[in-house]
């Protein structure tokens, strides 16, 4: 009896350290611009980097990176961010909505001193109202396709789903670029990548939480629901996993480079034939990108194989009435097959009273020391529960319920 009671106590104590962060799903900025008839104008103004997130470590020109010896570019997609949740900064707390993004590592929110139109339409951090705020003074910059986001660094308490981390480094943006952020439903970004990706000096949020012993395990996991009336719409679990959100066994894949959550992909196969990267390639598991991207030549071939037609602004559409005839696309990871049907890799959107079907694949040429990179974004992650294990440097995938 004592053993049973002890086990019940251990289970209760352990489960209390699993922090659930509800996520909300909204149309991407790309969808909003398309609905308003402004997408073509935006893309023309911001070529060639309008689709893919790019983020430079050395900005302004001539300013050294805050992390010595590095001046590289990283991917950062804000146009297709669809899932976000809430955080609280400062004492007393100030509420913000952020994209929980495995493709970056910094936390930033708009500052009350921001001069951009985008900031005026979002919540802004008031450092002077927080008794726990500590000023840093250093400047940071993030280079997006549509311009440079500039800000200053600070430190304050951060609360996520009732769990509070002290002395969290973060950025206050004072200038946000272009028209895209004006339409963003989120205020900022909370990165969950490795520290090597971070521009802001200090521990990223997840590292800080674990260092302060707020979590039992250095693990977090994502459940992203694509259904129109899904409940929950999405969920981030900090400190572990929830077996109720997936079925079957977890397939564990070792991280191949500790920056992004980067893994080896065995191949990509369309309808059992036409293999891409047959000798293996690298892929990033990225909750901050809604699409699946890959090298231009490979993605254009996939678009042809699924019968997608290019539009005058570079997007690819398909005939909604023919979805049932489109081939399956399979990603081979760790020897296991992850197959997407056309209903899963095609995005259906309404333009006025007309339903349009857009390909969930997009060309984006990214290079790494291991070769071209693919991005497995939300089109993939809505079908598969994803687990990110910093303790053993691995990514887990299982079929989402």
By annotation, the residues acting in catalysis are 101, 286
> Sheet containing 346-351: which strands, arranged edge to edge?
309-310, 316-318, 354-359, 346-351
**Token couple for 357:** 């079907």
Rounded to whole angstroms, the Cα distance separating 89 from 49 reads 32
Whether the CB-CB separation of 158 and 164 falls below 8 Å is answered with yes
Cα 371–chain centre separation: 22
Cα 348–chain centre separation: 21
Q: Which of 69, 86, 390, 353 is nearest to 254 (CA)?
A: 390
Q: Which of 373, 348, 380 is nearest to 298 (CA)?
A: 373
Whether the CB-CB separation of 391 and 217 falls below 8 Å is answered with yes
β-strands 292-294, 361-363 pairing: parallel
């Amino acid at each position: 009896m004592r053993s049973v009671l002890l086990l019940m106590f251990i289970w209760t104590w352990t489960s209390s350290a699993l922090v659930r962060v509800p996520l909300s799903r909204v149309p991407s900025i790309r969808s909003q611009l398309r609905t308003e008839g402004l997408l073509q104008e935006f893309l023309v103004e911001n070529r060639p980097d309008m689709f893919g997130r790019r983020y430079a470590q050395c900005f302004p020109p001539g300013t050294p990176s805050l992390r010595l010896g590095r001046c590289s570019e990283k991917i950062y997609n804000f146009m297709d961010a669809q899932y976000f949740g809430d955080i609280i900064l400062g004492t007393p707390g100030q509420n913000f909505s952020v994209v929980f993004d495995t493709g970056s590592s910094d936390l930033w929110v708009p500052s009350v001193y921001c001069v951009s139109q985008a900031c005026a339409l979002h919540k802004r951090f008031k450092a002077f109202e927080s008794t726990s705020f500590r000023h840093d003074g250093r400047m940071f910059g993030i280079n997006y396709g549509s311009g440079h986001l500039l800000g200053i660094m600070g430190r304050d308490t951060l609360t996520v789903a009732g769990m509070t981390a002290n002395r969290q480094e973060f950025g206050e943006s004072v200038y946000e670029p272009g028209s895209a952020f004006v339409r963003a439903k989120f205020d900022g970004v909370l990165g969950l990548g490795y520290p090597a990706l971070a521009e802001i000096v200090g521990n990223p949020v997840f590292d800080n939480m674990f260092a302060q012993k707020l979590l039992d395990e250095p693990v977090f996991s994502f459940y992203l629901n694509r259904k129109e009336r899904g409940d929950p719409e999405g969920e981030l679990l900090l400190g572990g996993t929830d077996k109720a959100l997936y079925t079957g066994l977890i397939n564990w894949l070792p991280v191949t480079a500790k920056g992004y959550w980067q893994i080896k992909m065995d191949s990509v196969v369309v309808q059992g034939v036409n293999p891409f990267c047959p000798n293996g390639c690298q892929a990033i598991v990225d909750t901050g990108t809604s699409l699946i991207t890959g090298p231009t030549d490979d993605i254009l071939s996939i678009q042809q194989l699924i019968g997608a037609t290019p539009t005058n602004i570079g997007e690819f559409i398909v005939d909604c009435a023919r979805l049932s005839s489109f081939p399956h696309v399979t990603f081979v990871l760790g020897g296991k097959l992850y197959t997407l049907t056309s209903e899963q890799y095609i995005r259906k959107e309404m333009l006025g009273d007309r339903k349009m079907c857009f390909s969930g694949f997009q060309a984006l040429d990214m290079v790494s020391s291991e070769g071209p990179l693919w991005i497995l974004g939300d089109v993939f992650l809505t079908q598969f529960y994803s687990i990110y294990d910093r303790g053993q440097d691995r990514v887990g995938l299982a079929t989402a319920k």
